Chains A and B, each alone.
Chain A
Amino acid sequence: MTILALLFAFLLGLMLLYAFHPKAKLMELIGFSFPIGIGTITLLMFALDVLGLKINVLNTSISIVSACIGIGVYVFFVHKEQLTQISAKRFELNASIKDLNVVWLGCAAIIVFVLYGISKKSLFWPTFATDALTSFNLYAKAIAREGTLQNSLVLNQHVGGGAAYPPLYSLSLAYAMMFGFKLTKIIPVLFFISLTVGFYALVKQNTNSTNAILFTLVMITVPEMLAQSAINITSVPQSAYGALGVIAFFTWLSNKENGYLILSGVLLAFNGWIRSEGIVFITVVFLLLSYDTLKTRDYKKLAVFTVLSIAPFLIWQLYLRLNHELMDPFLQVEIIKMPLFDGEKLSKIVGISKYNLLSETYYGLVIYGFLLVVVLNVKFIIKNLDNVGLILAIALIIVFYLGLINQLQLRYDSVDNILKYSAKRFFFGPIIVMCFYLSNNALMKKAFEYIHNQLRYPLKPAADS
């Protein structure tokens, strides 16, 4: 039963991904199937609840199977020709094997060991983290047992503020519980593995396998992010959705394959369906796409992307509004709509955020590497506008986050506490995107093109110099 639940999630994600991105590579299918599948399942569970049906094994299974059949029919009729091309050749397996070298194997071995270690730790300990215990996991227990979001814990206010978070995480934990998982930490484990594979797949799409594996290693060994991936909270999954959504967007910008733009929209949609702050990532990509649309005048693409990426966020805000009497007590913050210009508060936010960002114990050397590589690339940035959009996206995500903190009015906590204990988690997303920049800038691309070619096995020695 438990395995079946995971297979359901994986299969639904796989089919959906194939439906909108039929040219997806094997690693993309592996990396994105689970996050897209589980995200879609939580949308189905939410729809059941809104329609007044119980969220239970039977109803959830029926809705998943119905969705799979619907997508299957669509794929069969729309992508019929491509279906016949599913083979080793289509996935370029042979080429991938020839791409392997000792750096790839070494890095891959370390990545596998790190993933094994962190997954084992995660699955060994029951849920401990305060937010998980008092909010997400507790809320999930009640959803799984009572079959509704508006359960006894919400009615009696016996669950923490996480009940007002967009429900992707709590619903996915409830899904695991309903299908018999005693411990729900399989969910964060699968999210982190998916982040690793998905990141590798997208970087490889932009560079080569040697570059991709090395910077995947850099990304997964961001100390605080790896540590937080083993506890049952929303930060790492949201960063994974948000950052991979941004990276998929830049992949689309470089190759103009529409599948990547829809992938970006879907990932960003789920990023707003897991934490409301995901709106930061959606806004940044929306601004960049709008700028691109000014040149291409393809307004339909912009409209589709915008509706797709923001819909779940808006649905949840509407749900909170419609049920405000019940849900308001769970809201931990209020956003002040008028811009605040309190110099003291702003300098405190910037100061502590700078301290956090430069902390090696939180983010390793990523931020230093990023700044150094930007400086080294100055020539390419000025001359060819190399990755200017990407640098701008990283800067905007950070600035928008700081702006968001500035506008927050906290009900039960202080800005100081948020900055000291929670704000370090806000930067996982931009840190992942920085790792992408590290791999994708002109200098690094050139260097790794050379390294990769040098380390390749000489299949045709005479022509391979």
Chain B
Amino acid sequence: MPKTKPQQKKEAKKKQDKSKSTQTSALSFVLKNAAALLVLALVLNLALTRPGYNWLWNSLIKKNLEMVNKNASMTDEIKMEIKYGLFAKYLQHIKQNTPENAVILLPPENVVDGIPEKYKMKYLKNKFYCTYFLYPRQIVFDQTKDNQEATHVAIVNNWGYEHLNYPVQKKQPLAILPIRNQN
């Protein structure tokens, strides 16, 4: 049935009202969300004035990200050296130059104590740290107490040459050498 003129007018007005209402609601949605975003930004900025959150955002996240991005190609060996200095470098050297079934004789505490602190060689006194770097190789600190017979000696600060059963011409302060001459 065709609609009468007043009916058509009424429907058009309804449509107009609906569109107006949608526009108002959409505007109100945008305004409310903008205000909420502003409040959120303000709260987050205020939080950043507190020491814990400031450290978290600027140091823990941003500075670390910058550092990681800058050093993306850095090898794990170098990263370990950054943290554990000469100790890491020396143990990596031992690892590369001994077979997996090697038993390595490490120096006594007094030898390690004679090395300046900056080289971070104090970790050589800790069997857990040494094992972490050298596993599956085994370590011994004292041939008389430990049951295992060492196959290699970790030469540290010129200590250890006395355990070799062959003479060494060119002695170096840090080295890893087999106890028995393999030639």
By a beta-carbon cutoff of 8 Å, the part of chain A in contact with chain B is 101-103, 106-107, 110, 113-114, 117-118, 120-121, 124-126, 128, 133-135, 137-138, 141-142, 145, 152-153, 156, 158-160, 182-183, 221, 223, 226-227, 359-365, 451, 454-458, 461-462, 464
Contacts and interface: CB of A to CB of B under 8 A. Distances in A.
Instruction: State the main secondary structure of chain A at its contact with B.
Output: helix
A238 B76 CA distance: 28
B139 interface: yes
Contact of B40 (A107, A126, A141, A153): A107
27 contacts: A103-B33, A113-B61, A117-B65, A118-B61, A120-B65, A121-B65, A125-B83, A126-B76, A133-B132, A137-B132, A138-B128, A138-B131, A145-B136, A158-B127, A182-B76, A223-B53, A223-B60, A365-B47, A365-B52, A365-B53, A454-B36, A455-B32, A455-B33, A458-B28, A461-B18, A461-B22, A462-B21
A72 B60 CA distance: 43
**Which 5 pairs of residues, A with B, have the shortest CB-CB distance?**
A134-B128, A458-B25, A117-B61, A461-B25, A102-B33
B50 A364 contact: yes
| Interface residue range, chain B | 35 or more
A331 to B, nearest CB: 16
B65 A141 contact: no
A120 B135 CA distance: 27
Nearest to A113: B61
B40 A103 contact: yes
Given A117-B64, A120-B65, A153 B131 contact: yes
Contact of A138 (B56, B65, B68, B132): B132
A286 B7 CA distance: 68
Contacts of A124: 68, 71, 79
A364 B25 contact: no
A15 B126 CA distance: 44
Given A107-B40, A226-B60, A457 B29 contact: yes
A360 B51 contact: yes
A178 B168 CA distance: 41
Contacts of A360: 50-52
B55 interface: yes
B80 A106 contact: no
A113 B60 CA distance: 12
Contacts of B18: 461-462
Contacts of B135: 138, 141-142, 145, 153
A458 B29 contact: yes
Contacts of A113: 61
Given A103-B33, A153-B135, 9 more contacts: A101-B33, A102-B34, A103-B36, A117-B62, A160-B128, A227-B56, A359-B52, A457-B29, A462-B18
B151 interface: no
Contact of A114 (B41, B61, B139): B61
Contacts of A156: 138
Nearest to A217: B44
A63 to B, nearest CB: 25
B32 to A, nearest CB: 5
B129 interface: yes
B26 interface: yes
A221 B132 contact: no
Contacts of A455: 29, 32-33, 36
Contacts of B36: 101-103, 451, 454-455
B55 A361 contact: yes
A358 to B, nearest CB: 12
Contacts of B28: 458
Interface in B46-84: 47, 50-53, 55-56, 60-62, 64-65, 68, 71, 76, 79-80, 83
B120 to A, nearest CB: 13
A121 B41 CA distance: 26
Contacts of B64: 117, 120-121
A361 B56 CA distance: 9
Nearest to A146: B136
Contacts of A101: 33, 36
A107 B39 CA distance: 12
